[in-house]
Amino acid sequence: MSTVRVRFFASYAELAGCETTAVEVSLPATVRDVVRRVREQLPGTRALPERPLAAVNLRHVKLDAPVGDGDEVALLPPLAGG
Amino acid sequence: MTHLTRVPISIDDLIRAVGGPERGGTCVFLGTVRDAPADGGVTGIEYSGYDTMADAELDRILAEAGKRWPESRIAVRHRLGLVETEEASIAIAAAAPHRTDAFDACRYVIEAVKQRLPIWKKELRADGSALWVDPHGRPAVVGPPAPPV
Protein backbone atom coordinates (compact mmCIF):
# COMPACT_ATOMS: atom_id res chain seq x y z
CA MET A 1 0.00 0.00 0.00
CA SER A 2 1.13 3.53 -0.74
CA THR A 3 0.14 6.72 0.97
CA VAL A 4 -1.10 9.71 -0.96
CA ARG A 5 -1.71 13.12 0.53
CA VAL A 6 -5.00 14.69 -0.51
CA ARG A 7 -5.78 18.39 -0.30
CA PHE A 8 -9.15 20.12 -0.42
CA PHE A 9 -9.86 23.77 -1.10
CA ALA A 10 -12.67 26.29 -0.74
CA SER A 11 -16.12 24.64 -0.86
CA TYR A 12 -14.59 21.17 -1.08
CA ALA A 13 -12.71 21.72 2.17
CA GLU A 14 -16.00 22.67 3.80
CA LEU A 15 -17.60 19.47 2.50
CA ALA A 16 -14.66 17.32 3.57
CA GLY A 17 -14.47 18.99 6.97
CA CYS A 18 -10.71 19.30 6.58
CA GLU A 19 -8.10 20.74 4.24
CA THR A 20 -5.90 17.71 4.00
CA THR A 21 -6.04 13.99 4.57
CA ALA A 22 -4.05 10.89 3.67
CA VAL A 23 -5.37 7.82 1.91
CA GLU A 24 -3.79 4.48 1.20
CA VAL A 25 -4.05 2.91 -2.23
CA SER A 26 -2.49 -0.17 -3.72
CA LEU A 27 -0.33 0.50 -6.76
CA PRO A 28 -0.79 0.84 -9.62
CA ALA A 29 -3.42 3.44 -8.79
CA THR A 30 -4.97 6.46 -10.45
CA VAL A 31 -6.49 9.70 -9.25
CA ARG A 32 -9.89 8.05 -9.67
CA ASP A 33 -8.87 5.39 -7.11
CA VAL A 34 -7.81 8.15 -4.74
CA VAL A 35 -11.17 9.91 -5.14
CA ARG A 36 -12.93 6.63 -4.41
CA ARG A 37 -10.92 6.14 -1.21
CA VAL A 38 -11.61 9.74 -0.17
CA ARG A 39 -15.36 9.20 -0.58
CA GLU A 40 -15.13 6.14 1.67
CA GLN A 41 -13.14 7.91 4.35
CA LEU A 42 -14.88 11.29 4.40
CA PRO A 43 -18.66 11.05 3.98
CA GLY A 44 -18.98 14.77 3.27
CA THR A 45 -17.00 14.34 0.06
CA ARG A 46 -19.71 12.12 -1.41
CA ALA A 47 -21.35 15.39 -2.46
CA LEU A 48 -18.39 16.18 -4.70
CA PRO A 49 -19.03 15.95 -8.44
CA GLU A 50 -18.59 12.52 -9.99
CA ARG A 51 -15.56 13.79 -11.89
CA PRO A 52 -13.92 16.61 -9.93
CA LEU A 53 -11.03 18.61 -11.31
CA ALA A 54 -7.78 17.25 -9.94
CA ALA A 55 -4.08 17.99 -9.75
CA VAL A 56 -1.09 15.83 -8.89
CA ASN A 57 2.06 17.47 -7.60
CA LEU A 58 0.91 20.96 -8.66
CA ARG A 59 -0.19 20.04 -12.20
CA HIS A 60 -3.67 19.60 -13.65
CA VAL A 61 -4.36 15.96 -14.49
CA LYS A 62 -7.21 13.77 -15.66
CA LEU A 63 -8.75 11.20 -13.37
CA ASP A 64 -6.94 8.35 -15.07
CA ALA A 65 -3.53 9.85 -14.26
CA PRO A 66 -1.30 7.56 -12.19
CA VAL A 67 -0.40 8.35 -8.60
CA GLY A 68 2.57 7.13 -6.62
CA ASP A 69 3.72 6.93 -3.04
CA GLY A 70 4.15 10.38 -1.51
CA ASP A 71 2.26 12.20 -4.26
CA GLU A 72 0.09 15.18 -3.43
CA VAL A 73 -3.35 14.96 -5.00
CA ALA A 74 -5.58 18.03 -4.94
CA LEU A 75 -9.31 18.06 -5.64
CA LEU A 76 -10.22 21.42 -7.13
CA PRO A 77 -13.62 23.16 -7.16
CA PRO A 78 -14.48 24.93 -10.45
CA LEU A 79 -11.69 27.45 -10.95
CA ALA A 80 -12.54 31.10 -10.37
CA GLY A 81 -9.25 32.97 -10.61
CA GLY A 82 -8.81 36.30 -12.30
CA MET B 1 9.28 34.90 -7.10
CA THR B 2 5.66 34.74 -6.16
CA HIS B 3 2.93 36.14 -8.38
CA LEU B 4 0.48 36.18 -5.48
CA THR B 5 -0.01 39.02 -3.05
CA ARG B 6 -2.20 39.87 -0.09
CA VAL B 7 -1.78 43.62 -0.45
CA PRO B 8 -3.09 46.01 -3.13
CA ILE B 9 -1.35 45.57 -6.48
CA SER B 10 0.99 48.33 -7.59
CA ILE B 11 0.37 48.88 -11.28
CA ASP B 12 3.42 51.15 -11.47
CA ASP B 13 5.67 48.35 -10.17
CA LEU B 14 4.21 45.95 -12.71
CA ILE B 15 4.76 48.35 -15.59
CA ARG B 16 8.32 49.02 -14.43
CA ALA B 17 8.98 45.27 -14.32
CA VAL B 18 8.19 44.82 -18.03
CA GLY B 19 9.36 48.13 -19.47
CA GLY B 20 12.51 48.67 -21.50
CA PRO B 21 13.83 50.83 -24.33
CA GLU B 22 13.24 48.13 -26.93
CA ARG B 23 9.58 47.60 -26.01
CA GLY B 24 7.34 50.31 -27.42
CA GLY B 25 3.93 48.97 -26.46
CA THR B 26 2.63 48.00 -23.04
CA CYS B 27 -0.79 46.53 -22.45
CA VAL B 28 -2.23 46.40 -18.93
CA PHE B 29 -5.24 44.35 -17.94
CA LEU B 30 -6.96 44.84 -14.60
CA GLY B 31 -9.63 42.55 -13.26
CA THR B 32 -11.61 44.32 -10.54
CA VAL B 33 -14.22 43.20 -8.07
CA ARG B 34 -17.60 44.35 -9.26
CA ASP B 35 -20.76 45.10 -7.37
CA ALA B 36 -23.89 43.09 -8.11
CA PRO B 37 -26.88 45.23 -7.10
CA ALA B 38 -29.33 42.66 -8.49
CA ASP B 39 -27.98 40.16 -5.94
CA GLY B 40 -28.30 42.53 -3.03
CA GLY B 41 -24.90 44.17 -3.42
CA VAL B 42 -21.38 42.83 -3.16
CA THR B 43 -18.92 44.52 -0.80
CA GLY B 44 -15.92 42.40 -1.66
CA ILE B 45 -14.57 38.99 -2.51
CA GLU B 46 -12.45 36.75 -0.34
CA TYR B 47 -9.94 35.02 -2.61
CA SER B 48 -8.32 31.76 -1.56
CA GLY B 49 -6.07 29.52 -3.55
CA TYR B 50 -3.83 26.53 -3.82
CA ASP B 51 -0.90 28.90 -3.44
CA THR B 52 1.97 26.69 -4.53
CA MET B 53 0.15 25.38 -7.57
CA ALA B 54 -1.20 28.81 -8.53
CA ASP B 55 2.32 30.19 -8.48
CA ALA B 56 3.65 27.24 -10.49
CA GLU B 57 0.79 27.54 -12.98
CA LEU B 58 1.47 31.26 -13.44
CA ASP B 59 5.15 30.44 -14.05
CA ARG B 60 4.07 27.97 -16.72
CA ILE B 61 1.63 30.41 -18.33
CA LEU B 62 4.27 33.15 -18.47
CA ALA B 63 6.80 30.71 -19.92
CA GLU B 64 4.34 29.69 -22.64
CA ALA B 65 3.61 33.33 -23.47
CA GLY B 66 7.34 34.05 -23.51
CA LYS B 67 7.81 31.34 -26.13
CA ARG B 68 4.96 32.62 -28.30
CA TRP B 69 6.06 36.26 -28.03
CA PRO B 70 9.81 35.99 -27.43
CA GLU B 71 10.41 39.72 -27.53
CA SER B 72 7.77 40.41 -24.91
CA ARG B 73 8.10 40.77 -21.19
CA ILE B 74 5.09 39.97 -19.01
CA ALA B 75 4.32 40.30 -15.31
CA VAL B 76 1.24 39.25 -13.38
CA ARG B 77 -0.05 39.66 -9.83
CA HIS B 78 -3.10 38.00 -8.32
CA ARG B 79 -4.57 39.02 -4.98
CA LEU B 80 -5.47 36.61 -2.20
CA GLY B 81 -7.54 37.48 0.86
CA LEU B 82 -10.19 40.18 1.00
CA VAL B 83 -10.45 42.38 -2.08
CA GLU B 84 -13.04 45.14 -1.84
CA THR B 85 -15.34 46.22 -4.64
CA GLU B 86 -13.53 48.23 -7.34
CA GLU B 87 -10.11 46.98 -6.22
CA ALA B 88 -8.04 44.92 -8.65
CA SER B 89 -7.93 41.20 -7.99
CA ILE B 90 -5.54 40.64 -10.89
CA ALA B 91 -3.20 42.80 -12.93
CA ILE B 92 -1.24 41.80 -16.00
CA ALA B 93 1.28 43.95 -17.81
CA ALA B 94 2.65 42.82 -21.17
CA ALA B 95 5.24 44.85 -23.02
CA ALA B 96 6.50 44.14 -26.53
CA PRO B 97 8.23 46.02 -29.32
CA HIS B 98 4.83 46.64 -30.96
CA ARG B 99 1.27 46.94 -29.68
CA THR B 100 -0.17 43.86 -31.41
CA ASP B 101 2.10 41.48 -29.54
CA ALA B 102 1.53 43.36 -26.27
CA PHE B 103 -2.26 43.03 -26.62
CA ASP B 104 -2.08 39.39 -27.74
CA ALA B 105 0.28 38.33 -24.95
CA CYS B 106 -1.82 40.08 -22.32
CA ARG B 107 -4.99 38.42 -23.64
CA TYR B 108 -3.29 35.02 -23.69
CA VAL B 109 -2.32 35.30 -20.03
CA ILE B 110 -5.75 36.36 -18.72
CA GLU B 111 -7.54 33.66 -20.71
CA ALA B 112 -5.11 31.01 -19.42
CA VAL B 113 -5.56 32.31 -15.88
CA LYS B 114 -9.33 31.94 -16.20
CA GLN B 115 -8.98 28.36 -17.39
CA ARG B 116 -6.17 27.09 -15.22
CA LEU B 117 -5.51 29.06 -12.03
CA PRO B 118 -6.52 27.21 -8.84
CA ILE B 119 -8.07 30.16 -7.07
CA TRP B 120 -11.58 30.46 -5.64
CA LYS B 121 -13.77 33.29 -4.53
CA LYS B 122 -16.27 33.77 -1.77
CA GLU B 123 -18.55 36.70 -2.42
CA LEU B 124 -19.32 38.93 0.53
CA ARG B 125 -22.82 40.36 0.25
CA ALA B 126 -24.07 43.64 1.64
CA ASP B 127 -26.49 41.79 3.94
CA GLY B 128 -23.56 40.10 5.69
CA SER B 129 -23.91 36.74 3.99
CA ALA B 130 -21.07 35.06 2.08
CA LEU B 131 -21.13 32.38 -0.56
CA TRP B 132 -18.76 30.58 -2.91
CA VAL B 133 -19.31 31.65 -6.49
CA ASP B 134 -18.37 30.00 -9.74
CA PRO B 135 -16.28 31.63 -12.48
CA HIS B 136 -19.39 33.47 -13.73
CA GLY B 137 -20.25 34.90 -10.34
CA ARG B 138 -23.16 32.50 -9.80
CA PRO B 139 -23.50 30.58 -6.55
CA ALA B 140 -21.23 27.55 -6.83
CA VAL B 141 -23.01 24.24 -7.30
CA VAL B 142 -20.88 21.75 -5.46
CA GLY B 143 -22.54 18.53 -6.47
CA PRO B 144 -25.51 16.31 -5.81
CA PRO B 145 -26.73 16.08 -2.23
CA ALA B 146 -25.00 13.44 -0.17
CA PRO B 147 -26.90 10.15 -0.13
CA PRO B 148 -28.47 9.20 3.18
CA VAL B 149 -26.06 7.32 5.42
Domain ranges of chain B: 4-132
Residue A81 lies in a domain: no
Q: Is the pLDDT of residue A63 over 90?
A: yes
- Nearest CB among B50, B53, B117 relative to A82 is that of B117
Phi/psi of residue A6, nearest 5 degrees? -120, 130
Interface A–B counts its CB contacts (< 8 A) at 90
Measured distance CA(A14)–CA(B134) in Å, rounded: 16
How many residues are present in chain B? 149
* pLDDT at res. B148: 47
Distance of CA B114 to CAs A79, B3, B13, B103, B138, Å? 7, 15, 23, 17, 15
Q: Chain B: nearest CA to A9, how far in angstroms?
A: 7
Host H or E run for residue A73: strand A72-76
> What is the average per-residue pLDDT within A40-62?
96
- Nearest CB among A11, A50, A55 relative to B53 is that of A55
Between A22 and A1, the more confident residue is A22
Average pLDDT score over chain B = 92
* pLDDT at res. B55: 98
Is A78 at the interface with chain B, CB within 8 A?
Answer: yes
Contact call for B50 and A74, based on CB within 8 A: yes
* pLDDT at res. B138: 74
Measured distance CA(B127)–CA(B140) in Å, rounded: 19
Q: CATH number of the domain that A51 lies in?
A: 3.10.20.30
> What is the average per-residue pLDDT within A21-42?
97
* pLDDT at res. B145: 47
* pLDDT at res. B149: 44
Q: Chain A: nearest CA to B127, how far in angstroms?
A: 21
Contact call for B110 and A82, based on CB within 8 A: yes
Nearest CA in chain A to B52: A58
Spatial CB neighbours of A61, under 8 Å, sequence gap ≥ 6: A31, A54, A55
Phi/psi of residue A26, nearest 5 degrees? -95, 135
Measured distance CA(B113)–CA(B96) in Å, rounded: 20
* pLDDT at res. B1: 58
Average pLDDT score over chain A = 96
Measured distance CA(B130)–CA(B80) in Å, rounded: 16
Q: Which residues of chain B have pLDDT under 50?
A: 144-149
Question: Percent of chain A having pLDDT more than 70?
Answer: 100
Fold of B4-132: Aldehyde Oxidoreductase; domain 3 (3.90.1170)
Q: Is the pLDDT of residue A80 over 50?
A: yes
Contact call for B142 and A47, based on CB within 8 A: yes
Contact call for B56 and A60, based on CB within 8 A: no
* pLDDT at res. B141: 57
Residue A35 lies in a domain: yes
- Exposure pattern of B69-99 as b/e (b: 16+ CB <10 Å)? beebbbbbbbbbeebebeebbbbbbbbbeee
Q: Chain B: nearest CA to A40, how far in angstroms?
A: 12
Is A12 at the interface with chain B, CB within 8 A?
Answer: yes
Contact call for A11 and B140, based on CB within 8 A: yes
Spatial CB neighbours of B108, under 8 Å, sequence gap ≥ 6: B61, B64, B65, B68
Q: Are A75 and A54 in contact (CB under 8 A)?
A: yes
Q: Chain A: nearest CA to B14, how far in angstroms?
A: 16
Please give the residue range of the domain that contains residue A48.
2-76
DSSP of B5-62 = ESS---HHHHHHHH--TT--EEEEEEEE----GGGT-EEEEEEEE-HHHHHHHHHHHH
Distance of CA A54 to CAs A50, A78, B54, B98, Å? 12, 10, 13, 38
How many domains does chain A divide into? Answer: 1
Could you read off the pLDDT of B106-139 as tens digits, one per residue?
999 999 999 999 999 999 998 989 999 887 777 7
Whether the predicted interface score ipTM is above 0.90:
yes
